[in-house]
Structure 1
Amino acid sequence: MRYVVLQVILKEKLWGTGSGNLTSLEKAINDQAAKGYRLHTITTASSGSKGMIGGGDRIQATLVFESLG
């Protein structure tokens, strides 16, 4: 079996809730699916930002894709 590992950083909005870039996560999954891989495992780790500039938490998603071929 062949595997691909990707990391996607999701940045939470400064005000309100929800990620401002879930489309980047969706794109990573769809791009690998188009190459013949399926999502095998996903893990996340979160960290808070420091200071007011660039605010919002960050979530690091690590995705492991498995070859279907």
Structure 2
Amino acid sequence: MPHYVDLQVILKEKLLGTGSGNLTSQEKAINDQAAKGYRLHTITTSSSGSKGIGGGNRIQATMVFESLA
């Protein structure tokens, strides 16, 4: 088992209001790694502008997980 795992999740902000419209994809990634014996070590984010008619910014979350074993 690798000591560290790197994952990226793209979050799309809601067109109206604030916050992310798909935080469940980030939550699923974290829970999947926890079930494999990893804990979230570091998370960084970067944002990009609106992608056309769908609106909303894109946020790229890069997560580093560390093995508990």
Scaled by the length of structure 2, the TM-score of the pair is 0.92
1:7-22 pair list within 5 angstroms = 7-22=8-23
Tell me if structure 1 keeps the 8 A contact 2:51–2:57. Answer: no
The alignment of Structure 1 onto Structure 2 pairs a total of residues equal to 68
More helix by share: 2
State the 4+ residue runs in structure 1 displaced beyond 3 angstroms. Answer: none
Tell me how far apart the structure 2 counterparts of residues 65 and 7 of structure 1 sit (CA, whole Å): 11
The alignment status of 1:40 with 2:12, answered yes or no, reads: no
Q: Describe the SS at the equivalent of 1:49.
A: coil
Q: Which amino acid aligns with 1:19?
A: S
In structure 1, the partner of 2:64 is: 64
Q: Percent identity?
A: 87
